[in-house]
Each structure stands twice: as C-alpha cells, then as structure tokens.
Structure 1
Amino acid sequence: MDEWKTPLYQAKIMDKWLTAFYQVRGSELPINNFHSHHEYEIYYFCGGECKYLINNRIYDLQPGDIILLDGLTLHKPNPRDVSTYTRSMLHFSPTWLQELMTVLGVPNLLAPFQNLNNCLLRTGNDESGQFVDAQMKKLAILLVQMDDEMQKTGKKSELLEAEVKLELVQLLLGIYKMAQREFMHVKKKMTSKEQHAEAISTWIDAHYMEKVSLDQLAADLNLSKYYAAHIFKEVSGFTVMEYVMGCRLNQVKYLLEMEPDQSLADVSRAAGFESVSHFSRYFKDKMNVTPSRYRANKRIQRQQTQD
C-alpha cells in the first residue's frame, strides 16, 4: 500500500439505509460524475484541492468543510489532484431516521438537510469539525464490525446495530447545533471565472429541457462561446454538454419514478432529449439498465418499503 493511503472503513448494510466511507484518499473510490441519490449525505472534506459543484453553485473547499446534501440535487466533486483528494462520506435513509427521532423525542435533526438548500458549513477543523470527523470514523468502523459479524454468524448483531443508531443520532445532533449558527455558513468570495461558471450552470438549469446551443448560451450571457466553454470546463471539470446531459438524466430519473404512467417518449421529450432512441441509449450507457427496467426496479423498491 502506498504511504499516502489512509485506513479505509466502508460498509453498506442494515437494509441498505446506511453507507459509510472514512478518509477515502485518491482513487480508492471512483471520482463520481454529476449524480444524485435518494439518501441524505454528509460529506466531510479532509484535504487536497477540490471544487464542489452542487447544482448551479460552486464551492472551493477547505479542510474541515462539511456539506449537507439532500441527495436529489445534482452534485459532483472536482479535485485538482486526485492523489491528494481525501474525504469522508455518510449516506443514510431519511425515512428510517424519522421513525427513530419520533421514538427518541428529539428535535427534527433532518432540518439542516431539508431547509438549508444543500449548505456548506466551514469549521476550519475546529472542535466541531473534529467531532464530526470522529463520529464518522466510529460509524464506519461499527458498520465494518457488523458486516464481519454477519459473515461469521449469518445474522446481524442487535447490540452493534443499536450502537450505530446511537452514534448516528449523536452525529446528527451535533450537526443540527452547528447549523443553527449562521456565522458558520460559507460566505462565498468567487473569482470572476467562478462567477461566469456559476452563471453558465444557472443558465443551463433554466434551459436544459430545450434545444441547447453554445451560441445561444454565450449570447444570453454576453460571453465569447470559446471563453464560456473553456472556463466552464476549467472550473467544473466537465463540458457544457456533459452538464446539460447530467441535468437531463437527473430529470429523467425523477420522471421515471414519480410519473409511472408517462410514456418513455413523453419522459424523454420533457427532459430535453430529441429522440427516444437517443434517450434510451444514453440512459442505458450511464445507468447500466434500460429506462423500463429502471422504472420497474423503482416500483418494486417502493412496494417493498410500503410492506
């Protein structure tokens, strides 16, 4: 193992409602494309140089930064040097946690994820940041222990599961208190390049369901199209059309799940695809499953949750 690599604890168990990765460095996990998911996410930036894109906002991360994500909003890290990029992540099911909060009679610990619009908390690695880091490590290790126990005995440890729940509540209670302090929210001071990149992503968010052209984008924003393309790639890590297609894909995933009676032709048209065939090929390439199969899988998952 290379000297720069740190211990990696990861697990996705307990009925798939909790996933933890602690201090993942470099390429131990793939650098994700623009993506979304149903779970809430706590992202802790440990080190390196990285810009983080959340829909049409761009953050220049500092060690100790904590991002609270609702999951459904498109997001993507853009590290400058993959080998030094270090982060911890925790994904969890808000549905499961709502029930636990009711039983414990605690405040709505999910309010920061629901009301703060995918916010970033800047701790500077102070005591509060160190607390979050320590809790994420505890949870990751406990999940690995649970997985080991399951492999050995064929059943999950109720004691370890209870520990995981208690540690998660402690983590979320700490974040809830942190989120109440308005001074911890990042006041962004963007460079002109970042301002232009954010303006471009905002324009795309408003127009991706139409036929998008770089000429029209540049004209509307009063930019050279070559400058617009170059600066967006430099800041975000992907091209204008890659961003457009990411927005379309996210919209398609939403419609396939939330509009089960809508035809594939209507879904593709509503998301900005010019043809059903292009939509189907692109979706299969990115999701490794056909649109119809994706919709059917989501229907099955929804029924299992209700049962």
Structure 2
Amino acid sequence: MNEHKIFSYPKQPMDEWITSFYRVRGVESHLFNFHSHQEYEIYFFHSGDCRYLINNRIYDLQPGDIILLDGMTLHKPNPQPGSTYIRSMIHFSPIWLQELLIILGIPNLLDPFQKLNNCLFRTGYDESGIFVDEGMKRITSLMAHLEAELQQKGKKNETIEAEIRLELVQLLVGIYKMSQKELAQHTNKRTEKEHHAEGIASWINNHYTEKVSLDRLANEMKLSKYYASHVFKEVTGFTVMEYVMGCRFNQVKYLLEMEPDQTLGNISRATGFESIAHFSRFFKEKAGITPSQYRKSRLKMDIAGRKEEQV
C-alpha cells in the first residue's frame, strides 16, 4: 500500500492536514467500514468490481470515476471479493487551504465539495481524468519526499510543503472546471435491487432516530423481511442494522462536537439509543474512547485551532 501521511504544525501534532493514498490495491476489510471524517476527500477509482454507497445513493463504479466527498456524509466502498480493487484517495483539511485560497483570490474553489452533494465525475479516463490521476500521483510523491526529510532531519522542508499546497490547488482548479462543465452528476441506471436498496437506505436516514425494526421497515417499504434484508446486504455489503447504527454513530459524533452543552443522556435519546448504557458501550466499541473523552478531545482541537489562527 502506497500511503503517505503529513502532520500539521507542532501546535496540533495529531491533526492531519493532508493524507494521500495512490493506487492502493487490495480489500483490507478494516478500510471498508461505513464511516465519515471531517476532511474533504478526492476518490479516484482505477479498476476492480466495486459499488460505492454514499448516504442513500449507490454507484456501480467504472475505471476513471472520481468522487468528491464532503467527509461528513456517511460513505463506504463495497468491493467484490476476488476483484483487483485499485483506488487513489486524498483527504485534506479545508481549513489548511483557507488562507491560501483567499490570497489567490479563489475563495470558492471548494464549492464542488460543499454544494454538489458528494458528486461523481464519470471521466472514462479522458483528459480530465488523466489530469486528476497525475495530480494525485505528484502529490503523493512530494509527500513521500517530505516525510523522508522529516525523518532524516527532524524538521519539515517548507519548500516541499509549499509545493504540496500548490499542487493541491492546481488539482482543485481542474476539478472546479470539471464541475462548472457539469461533467459530474452522473445518473446511474438502477437495477431493481439497487433501487430497493437505495429506498431502504433513504427510509433509514429518515427514521434512524426512532425505534427501528426489520418488521417495521419491511411493512412500510411494502417488501418481505427476507427480501429487504438480503437485497440490502447484497448491494451495500452490510446489514440493515449495521447501517442504522452507522447513521446513529455519525450523528452522535456531530452532536458531541457541535452541541457541547447537550447532556449524554439527551444525545443518546436524540439518536435513537434505547439506553445511555447501550449508547456508551456502542460508542466506545466503535471509537475506542468514551463519548466524554471524544467530546473533550474535539473541544481541545477546536481551542488549539483558534489559538493557531490568532498567532
């Protein structure tokens, strides 16, 4: 796996500002959980047999497909066993670029991530697809050089860091042009199974804060329990209840960070958990820390970020 991570300034040692993966192979299962993150993501699909679930939408990917993700929307690739699954990804913090974009006079450069609702570009490896592929390759190479120098000399090379920023801006300019030409917004022809799976996902997104059961879902969707359960697992790669709990987990993280005065009991009830004990146990199992510890860590990062801006 070609993976290179760059970390931010010493004042925020655990806050990654950009992460790059170029032409990663394989189907390591731990990488394909239903997840969200605060960074924006550029995802490039090279080859394999893979469906990609974004909230309640499902895409059958084709080589050259590019997905722009706002990060916070739940998403998950579902590569098929036995296929040679190859993809590239860049995660980056919009805050890290904010000042540079203002200086360059292009403050709207991130609009495709903010306004296109996690769109897909179907390039077919045309000129625009090759441009994005090569840009991601250059960024990964520069990050490898930066990491090597950091390990050898114990300090970052600011020239290489500046090159990475500029390469990313150039890549984002190309993506912005693609969005202006409306190359995104590809509408897949859905099979009946995919149509039903998307309907189930949409229903869950509207009801996950309530008491959810397969009986209720099947009844309201006018499907048999067996069919609803099996078609959702077949198309998305996980069960109905795994999707429900993924939605709840994502909302819990949002509320813990954005509503610091909310009690854990209120958050537990607002996100559909039957008890605060189940809520706390589930969160620690998924996040590795308790809800209170997660909230404290996010608040510390927020305070550190504000201090950074004031320096």
Q: State the TM bucket, normalised to the shorter chain.
A: over 0.9
Counterpart for residue 56 of structure 1: 56
- String of CA shifts for 1:116-142, please: whole Å, max 9, x gaps: 000000000111101101110111111
Task: Give the aligned partner of residue 13 of structure 2.
Answer: none
**Number of corresponding residues:** 301
Q: Quick one: which amino acid aligns to residue 195 of structure 1?
A: H
Residue identity over aligned pairs, in percent, reads: 63
Partner of 2:89: 89
SS in 2 for 1:227: helix
Q: Secondary structure of the residue that 2:228 maps to in structure 1?
A: helix
- Is 2:1 the partner of 1:10? no
Do the aligned residues in 1 keep the contact of 2:121 with 2:183 (CA within 8 Å)? no
Distance 1:184 1:248, change over 3 A: closer
Q: CA deviation at 1:81?
A: 2.6
AA matched with 1:60: D
Please say which of residues 159-168 and 75-84 is displaced more in the overlay. Answer: 75-84
Q: Tell me, what secondary structure is at the counterpart of 1:159?
A: helix
Check whether the contact 2:50–2:60 (CA below 8 A) recurs between aligned residues: yes
After superposition, the Cα gap between the structure-2 partners of 1:189 and 1:80, relative to the gap in structure 1 and judged at 3 Å, is same
Where do residues 115-130 of structure 1 align in structure 2 (5 Å cutoff)?
115-130=115-130
TM-score by length of 2: 0.94
Q: Deviations over 1:196-248 (max 9, x none)?
A: 00000000001100000111111111111110000000000000000000000
Q: C-alpha distance in 1, partners of 2:143/2:175?
A: 20
What's 2:153 paired with?
Answer: 153
Q: What is the aligned partner in structure 2 of residue 187 from structure 1?
A: 187
Distance 1:301 1:107, change over 3 A: closer
Query: 1:155-234, aligned counterparts within 5 Å?
Result: 155-234=155-234
Tell me the residue number matched to 1:133: 133
1: CA distance, partners of 2:78 / 2:28 = 16
- Paired position in structure 2 for 1:38: 38
- Which amino acid in structure 1 is aligned with residue 139 of structure 2? L
- 2:144 corresponds in structure 1 to 144
Q: Distance in 1 between matches of 2:91 and 2:72?
A: 12
In the alignment, the residues of structure 1 paired with residue 142 and residue 67 of structure 2 have an alpha-carbon distance, to the nearest angstrom, of 22
Partner SS state of residue 76, structure 1: strand
Tell me, yes or no, if the aligned pair for 1:25 and 1:83 is still in contact at 8 Å.
no
Residues 30 and 250 (structure 1 numbering): CA distance in 2 closer, same or farther, change over 3 Å? same
Deviation at 1:9, TM superposition (A): 4.2
| Cα separation, 2, equivalents of 1:147 and 1:211 | 48
Contact (CA 8 Å) 2:119, 2:184: kept in 1 or not?
no
In the other structure, the counterpart of 1:256 is: 256
Distance 2:18 2:269 in 1: 35
Structure 1 spans left out of the alignment, 5+ residues: 1-6
Query: One-letter code of the match for 1:216?
Result: R
Contact kept in structure 2, 1:26 and 1:82, CA below 8 Å: no
Give the match's secondary structure for 2:32: coil
Give secondary structure in 2 for the equivalent of 1:182. coil
**4+ runs deviating over 3 angstroms:** 27-30
> For the Cα contact (< 8 Å) 2:2–2:22, is it kept in 1?
yes
Q: Aligned partners of 1:30 and 1:50: how far apart in 2?
A: 16
Residue 112 (structure 2) aligns with: 112
The one-letter amino acid paired with 1:218 is A
User: Where does structure 2 lack aligned partners over 5 or more consecutive residues?
Assistant: 10-15
Task: Work out whether residues 49 and 85 of structure 1, in 8 Å CA contact, stay in contact via their aligned partners in 2.
Answer: yes
Q: Which residue of 2 aligns with 1:277?
A: 277
TM-score of the pair, normalised by structure 1: 0.95
Q: Distance in 2 between matches of 1:45 and 1:32?
A: 14
Separation in 1, partners of 2:257, 2:3: 32
Q: In 2 relative to 1, CA 29–221 (structure 1 residues): closer, same or farther, beyond 3 Å?
A: closer
Over 3 Å counting, the alpha-carbon distance change for 1:82 and 1:74 in structure 2 is farther
* Counterparts of 2:190 and 2:157, CA distance in 1: 48
Question: Post-superposition shift, 1:158?
Answer: 1.1
Structure 2 counterparts to residues 280-299 of structure 1, below 5 A? 280-299=280-299
